[in-house]
Amino acid sequence: MSPEASELYCLLIPLQSARLLVPRVCVAEVVAFSGPERPAENGELPGWYLGSIDWNGRRISVVSFEAMSGEPAQKRAGRTRIVVFHAIGDQLKTGFFGLITQGFPQLVRVNSDVLAPDRERGWPEEQPVLCRTRMINEYPMVPDMERLESMIAELSV
Protein backbone atom coordinates (compact mmCIF):
# COMPACT_ATOMS: atom_id res chain seq x y z
CA MET A 1 0.00 0.00 0.00
CA SER A 2 1.37 3.42 -0.90
CA PRO A 3 2.05 5.91 1.93
CA GLU A 4 -0.64 8.21 0.52
CA ALA A 5 -3.28 5.50 0.89
CA SER A 6 -2.57 5.13 4.61
CA GLU A 7 -2.76 8.86 5.33
CA LEU A 8 -5.77 11.10 5.75
CA TYR A 9 -5.94 14.89 5.55
CA CYS A 10 -7.79 16.15 8.61
CA LEU A 11 -8.59 19.42 10.31
CA LEU A 12 -7.93 20.19 13.96
CA ILE A 13 -10.79 22.50 14.94
CA PRO A 14 -10.03 24.70 17.97
CA LEU A 15 -12.73 25.01 20.62
CA GLN A 16 -12.45 26.84 23.94
CA SER A 17 -10.77 24.05 25.86
CA ALA A 18 -10.36 21.22 23.35
CA ARG A 19 -9.99 20.40 19.68
CA LEU A 20 -11.99 18.31 17.27
CA LEU A 21 -10.38 16.12 14.62
CA VAL A 22 -12.40 15.70 11.43
CA PRO A 23 -11.59 14.54 7.89
CA ARG A 24 -10.96 17.51 5.61
CA VAL A 25 -13.75 16.46 3.25
CA CYS A 26 -16.36 17.03 6.00
CA VAL A 27 -15.78 20.80 5.93
CA ALA A 28 -17.33 22.92 3.20
CA GLU A 29 -15.96 26.30 4.31
CA VAL A 30 -14.76 28.38 7.25
CA VAL A 31 -16.55 31.73 7.44
CA ALA A 32 -16.23 34.83 9.58
CA PHE A 33 -18.47 34.87 12.61
CA SER A 34 -21.79 36.60 12.12
CA GLY A 35 -24.29 36.49 14.95
CA PRO A 36 -26.74 33.65 14.34
CA GLU A 37 -30.40 34.62 14.52
CA ARG A 38 -32.47 32.63 17.01
CA PRO A 39 -36.18 32.16 16.35
CA ALA A 40 -38.40 34.58 18.28
CA GLU A 41 -39.99 31.70 20.18
CA ASN A 42 -36.82 30.10 21.53
CA GLY A 43 -37.90 28.98 24.99
CA GLU A 44 -37.92 25.36 23.80
CA LEU A 45 -34.50 25.44 22.15
CA PRO A 46 -31.40 24.15 23.98
CA GLY A 47 -28.53 26.52 24.76
CA TRP A 48 -26.21 24.73 22.34
CA TYR A 49 -28.39 25.81 19.41
CA LEU A 50 -27.10 29.30 18.63
CA GLY A 51 -29.46 30.05 15.73
CA SER A 52 -29.07 30.15 11.98
CA ILE A 53 -27.12 32.15 9.43
CA ASP A 54 -27.37 32.75 5.69
CA TRP A 55 -24.69 30.80 3.86
CA ASN A 56 -24.57 30.44 0.08
CA GLY A 57 -28.28 31.09 -0.28
CA ARG A 58 -29.26 28.68 2.51
CA ARG A 59 -30.28 29.10 6.14
CA ILE A 60 -28.05 26.76 8.14
CA SER A 61 -28.14 25.97 11.85
CA VAL A 62 -25.16 26.97 14.01
CA VAL A 63 -24.30 25.08 17.20
CA SER A 64 -21.82 25.20 20.07
CA PHE A 65 -20.11 21.86 20.60
CA GLU A 66 -19.08 22.64 24.20
CA ALA A 67 -22.58 23.71 25.18
CA MET A 68 -23.83 20.27 24.16
CA SER A 69 -22.15 18.92 27.30
CA GLY A 70 -23.45 21.66 29.57
CA GLU A 71 -20.48 24.02 29.36
CA PRO A 72 -21.24 27.66 28.61
CA ALA A 73 -21.49 28.50 24.93
CA GLN A 74 -18.36 30.05 23.49
CA LYS A 75 -18.03 33.79 23.80
CA ARG A 76 -17.36 35.66 20.62
CA ALA A 77 -13.75 36.74 20.31
CA GLY A 78 -11.77 38.34 17.49
CA ARG A 79 -10.77 34.95 16.13
CA THR A 80 -14.22 33.32 16.33
CA ARG A 81 -15.26 31.59 13.12
CA ILE A 82 -18.02 29.28 11.94
CA VAL A 83 -16.98 26.01 10.37
CA VAL A 84 -19.59 24.91 7.83
CA PHE A 85 -19.91 21.12 7.63
CA HIS A 86 -21.36 18.94 4.90
CA ALA A 87 -24.13 16.83 6.39
CA ILE A 88 -23.26 13.18 5.99
CA GLY A 89 -26.86 11.99 6.22
CA ASP A 90 -30.17 13.23 4.86
CA GLN A 91 -31.61 14.48 8.17
CA LEU A 92 -30.79 18.17 7.54
CA LYS A 93 -32.84 19.73 4.74
CA THR A 94 -30.09 22.19 3.80
CA GLY A 95 -27.36 19.53 3.74
CA PHE A 96 -25.09 21.71 5.89
CA PHE A 97 -24.68 23.03 9.44
CA GLY A 98 -22.27 25.34 11.24
CA LEU A 99 -20.18 24.91 14.35
CA ILE A 100 -18.65 27.83 16.23
CA THR A 101 -14.89 27.66 16.64
CA GLN A 102 -12.13 29.72 18.21
CA GLY A 103 -9.92 30.31 15.21
CA PHE A 104 -9.05 28.68 11.92
CA PRO A 105 -8.83 24.91 11.71
CA GLN A 106 -5.33 23.53 11.22
CA LEU A 107 -4.70 21.13 8.34
CA VAL A 108 -2.86 17.97 9.45
CA ARG A 109 -1.95 14.68 7.80
CA VAL A 110 -2.65 11.73 10.05
CA ASN A 111 -1.49 8.15 9.86
CA SER A 112 -0.91 5.32 12.30
CA ASP A 113 2.48 6.77 13.29
CA VAL A 114 0.98 9.96 14.74
CA LEU A 115 -2.56 8.94 15.70
CA ALA A 116 -3.76 6.43 18.29
CA PRO A 117 -6.83 5.97 20.50
CA ASP A 118 -6.63 7.64 23.91
CA ARG A 119 -8.25 5.31 26.40
CA GLU A 120 -7.27 7.34 29.49
CA ARG A 121 -9.19 10.57 28.88
CA GLY A 122 -12.93 10.54 28.58
CA TRP A 123 -15.49 13.06 27.37
CA PRO A 124 -18.92 14.09 28.60
CA GLU A 125 -21.46 11.44 27.63
CA GLU A 126 -23.88 14.11 26.42
CA GLN A 127 -21.50 15.18 23.68
CA PRO A 128 -21.74 13.58 20.26
CA VAL A 129 -18.24 12.07 20.37
CA LEU A 130 -17.03 8.80 18.85
CA CYS A 131 -13.68 8.74 20.64
CA ARG A 132 -10.74 10.74 21.91
CA THR A 133 -7.39 10.30 20.18
CA ARG A 134 -3.76 10.87 21.03
CA MET A 135 -1.95 12.78 18.33
CA ILE A 136 1.65 13.61 19.22
CA ASN A 137 1.09 15.95 22.23
CA GLU A 138 -2.62 16.61 21.71
CA TYR A 139 -5.81 14.76 22.58
CA PRO A 140 -8.50 15.80 20.07
CA MET A 141 -11.99 14.31 20.02
CA VAL A 142 -13.57 12.76 16.94
CA PRO A 143 -17.17 13.97 16.72
CA ASP A 144 -20.08 11.66 15.99
CA MET A 145 -21.41 13.52 12.97
CA GLU A 146 -24.53 11.39 12.61
CA ARG A 147 -25.56 12.03 16.21
CA LEU A 148 -24.77 15.73 15.91
CA GLU A 149 -26.92 16.04 12.79
CA SER A 150 -29.70 14.07 14.46
CA MET A 151 -29.66 16.43 17.46
CA ILE A 152 -29.98 19.44 15.13
CA ALA A 153 -32.69 17.78 13.02
CA GLU A 154 -34.77 16.99 16.13
CA LEU A 155 -35.12 20.72 16.81
CA SER A 156 -37.08 21.16 13.56
CA VAL A 157 -35.98 24.79 13.19
| Model pLDDT for residues 103-137, shown as the tens digit of each residue | 899 999 988 777 777 777 666 676 788 888 888 88
Residue 120, domain member (yes or no): no
SS3 letters across the chain: CCHHHHCEEEEEEECCCCEEEEEHHHEEEEEECCCCECCCCCCCCCCCEEEEEEECCEEEEEECCHHHHCCCCCCCCCCEEEEEEECCCCCCCCCEEEEEEECCCEEEEECCCCEEECCCCCCCCCCCEEEEEEECCECCEEECHHHHHHHHHHCCC
Across 71-85, 95-109, 123-137, which has the greatest mean pLDDT?
95-109
Residue 125, domain member (yes or no): no
Report the CATH number that the domain containing residue 8 is assigned in CATH: 2.40.50.180
Residue 138, domain member (yes or no): no
Give residue 27's domain range: 3-110+145-154
Residue 66, domain member (yes or no): yes
Mean pLDDT for all residues in the chain: 85
Residue 71, domain member (yes or no): yes
pTM for the predicted model, two decimal places: 0.87
| Residue 85 scores a pLDDT above 50 | yes
